Chains A and B, each alone.
Chain A
């Protein structure tokens, strides 16, 4: 826990200079880091690791190019430094983090902060990469010119961290009066003077300029090529989804088999009764149904983390900028939209890095259409059950193609929705797009491992708490009231869930959903992947034969038609089935009207898409 009596040290610097990586090694926490700008959009604070020996709290601030804020995240940094978010959050000392490979761009903010009068030290980060390209610095001269300690660091390798903690502690000035810090926007003359000062510092400090980023420039000539660039991007995305199926199928099948075997073993070992039914039908079938998709989720995110850390994701944003501009979004929208593949909640918060309020609103509103990881269990369950595992053109797996199509359909819908908003003149001021393209680097295995570990942990915790609890409740309403003695149908028909299902059924029948899908859909509004668990529980409870512990895919194949499965896939492209997304949308837009409107529009779109899919597929099947 953070101790508010400790001295607060703020980490400031440009986006993507390694502040969060430094924060993680200074505190021992695991905040997300990536090789693209704008990952941190909120302040996060924690105590300095105790083994570093100083009673300090570290505050990670969003990246800012200057103290003159142009976007919401830059405003957070500005407000914190100037005490506009309360004295408690105002740091006493600053660590200014500079990217050693790009000092010309990064030095101005150090000069700007020095002018504020804060006690500070400088972390000259990414020194490993600078050294690798042959760059050499006169650190003594830099210290003299900046008037503070300069510590060379390589956060991803944990180098220079104790010295940095030492420098931050040494910079503390007990008599420093934070409330006396004043800031006025820089005039044109001041900006020009600062530029000159930067050139002067570089002349004196850079001993050898090295050969920076030659490889990056060569790679970019191909990857950012007007023709090949977009094609390569498409090929990369397509390969990822092929990998999700091709590599994920075996571990998923093994897990699925284990869950079924465990359910059968539990039923055999325990005495028949309600408690056994709850364990087998509610908990094991329900939670197990969603846990089996962990390998596929990890493969998808392993690929995305590799792309992020290599520096390619920022290029994807650059390549997409033109298309984005046409539909009223900006290239900067790409980063939130891509993180929407993980989850819409941080993606919506991440939209704070977009400078234009209209483009930010448009990005927030369309983000739920990006295919989040909670949809993946639903998609893979239905694709595995209904789409044959065959090859197209002898190379491409049909299942992977269908999965790619669903992701593309989600992204295209997001663009179409953004274009619609633009046509209503709700959004669309084009603004400008400035994005720092980071140097390519070999992905850090540690970053990828941490990212995957956190994702697996979060997924399993969620399965073990929220999903498990919802499944217990679903089992309860699917089991009680008990059927009468002269019952003619299966027990679930007489239960509360059965009755609720029959209430919702008239709305869902025209789109091909049976009452069991209707029942599973109700808890599925809490979170999308709950549908998979709920289907597992509903089919387990509904089964008259308690010995039947066959896998869920087999049961679905027997019970559903192909048009029903396709309609459910189409439903899930749009379905607004995530409470957290709309809660955070309301928080970020501060508008109940937009939140309710987008929920209603997505629900309507889901129904219409499922209706047409069901009807059209019905003609062919």
Chain B
């Protein structure tokens, strides 16, 4: 790798972390197509 090529490594690592977090955090609500039925993270979904 030359020049700025090495910068792709941290970018890939961050992307992998984001995907893993989404996959394993059990946040199905955040993963949905994004209609307005469930959106605010400040809301406490109690059931």
Q: Which A residues contact B (CB, under 8 angstroms)?
A: 1-2, 29-32, 39, 42-46, 76, 85, 89, 271, 273-275, 278, 301, 339, 342-346, 349-350, 372-374, 450-451, 454-455, 457-459, 461-462, 465-466, 468-473, 476, 526-527, 529, 579-581, 583-584, 587
Residues of A within 8 A of B19 (CB): 466, 469-470, 473, 526
Contact A346 B37 (CB under 8 A): yes
Q: Quick one: which of B4, B35, B45, B46 contacts A339, CB cutoff 8 A?
A: B35
Residues in B with CB closer than 8 Å to A46 are 40, 42-44
Interface contact B4-A275, CB-CB below 8 Å:
yes
Q: Assess the B46–A43 pair: CB atoms within 8 A.
A: yes
C-alpha gap A30/B16 in the complex (Å): 31
For the complex formed, measure the closest distance between the CB of A180 and the CB atoms of chain B, giving whole angstroms. Answer: 23
Of B28, B32, B35, the residue contacting A32 (CB under 8 A) is B35
A451 to chain B, nearest CB (A): 5
Q: Which residues of B contact A271 (CB under 8 A)?
A: 3-4
Q: Report the minimal beta-carbon distance from A36 to chain B, rounded to whole angstroms.
A: 13
Cα distance, A349 to B44, chains bound together (Å): 16
Which of B1-47 touch A at CB < 8 Å?
A: 1-5, 7-8, 11-12, 14-16, 18-19, 22-23, 26, 28-29, 31-40, 42-47
Q: Are B40 and A30 in contact (CB under 8 A)?
A: yes
Complex CA distance for A301 and B37, rounded to whole angstroms = 13
Give the number of residue pairs across the A-B interface with Cβ within 8 Å.
151
Residues of B within 8 A of A580 (CB): 28-29, 31-32
CA distance in complex: A470, B33 (Å): 16
Contact across chains for A44 and B45 when beta carbons are under 8 A apart: yes
A373 touches B35 (CB 8 A): yes
Q: Do the beta carbons of B28 and A343 come within 8 Å of each other?
A: no
Could you tell me if B29 and A345 are in contact, using CB atoms closer than 8 angstroms? Answer: yes
CA distance A345 to B46 in the complex (A): 16
- Which of A1, A476, A527 gathers the greatest number of chain B CB atoms within 10 Å? A476
In the complex, the answer to whether A29 meets B32 with C-beta atoms within 8 Å is no
Query: CB < 8 Å: which of B1, B4, B26, B43 contacts A29?
Result: B43
Bound-state CA distance A581–B31 (Å) is: 9
Beyond the given A346-B38, A473-B16, A584-B29, could you list 9 further A-B residue pairs with CB under 8 A, ordered by the A residue number? A29-B43, A32-B38, A43-B46, A44-B45, A339-B35, A450-B36, A458-B34, A458-B35, A472-B15
The CA of A321 and the CA of B23, in the complex, are separated in Å by 38
B25 to chain A, nearest CB (A): 11
A39 CB contacts on chain B under 8 angstroms: 37
Is A346 touching B35 in the complex (CB atoms < 8 A)? yes
Offer 8 A-B interface pairs, CB within 8 angstroms, sorted by A.
Answer: A273-B4, A273-B5, A274-B5, A275-B4, A345-B38, A469-B19, A473-B16, A583-B28
Q: Collect the chain A residues with CB atoms within 8 Å of residue B2's CB.
A: 273
- Among B5, B11, B32, B46, the residue within 8 A (CB) of A346 is B32
In contact, B39 and A85 (Cβ under 8 angstroms): no
CB distance from B11 to the nearest CB of A (A): 6
In the complex, the answer to whether B15 meets A454 with C-beta atoms within 8 Å is: no
B42 pairs with A29, CB closer than 8 A: yes
B11 partner residues in chain A, CB cutoff 8 A = 278, 472
**Are B32 and A345 neighbours in the complex by a CB distance under 8 Å?**
yes
Are the CB atoms of B42 and A2 closer together than 8 Å? yes
Cα A29 to Cα B2 with chains together (Å)? 49
Chain A residues whose C-beta falls within 8 Å of the C-beta of B29 in the assembled complex: 345, 580, 584
| Distance to closest chain B CB from A120 (angstroms) | 21
- Considering the complex, give the chain A residue whose CB is closest to the CB of B18: A469
- A374 CA / B18 CA spacing, docked (Å): 20
CA distance A581 to B35 in the complex (A): 13
- B47 near A42 with CB under 8 A, answer yes
B36–A275 touching, CB < 8 Å: no
List, in ascending order, chain A residues with CB within 8 A of B35's CB. Answer: 32, 301, 339, 342-343, 346, 373, 454-455, 458
**How far apart sit A27 and B13, CA to CA, in the bound complex (Å)?**
39
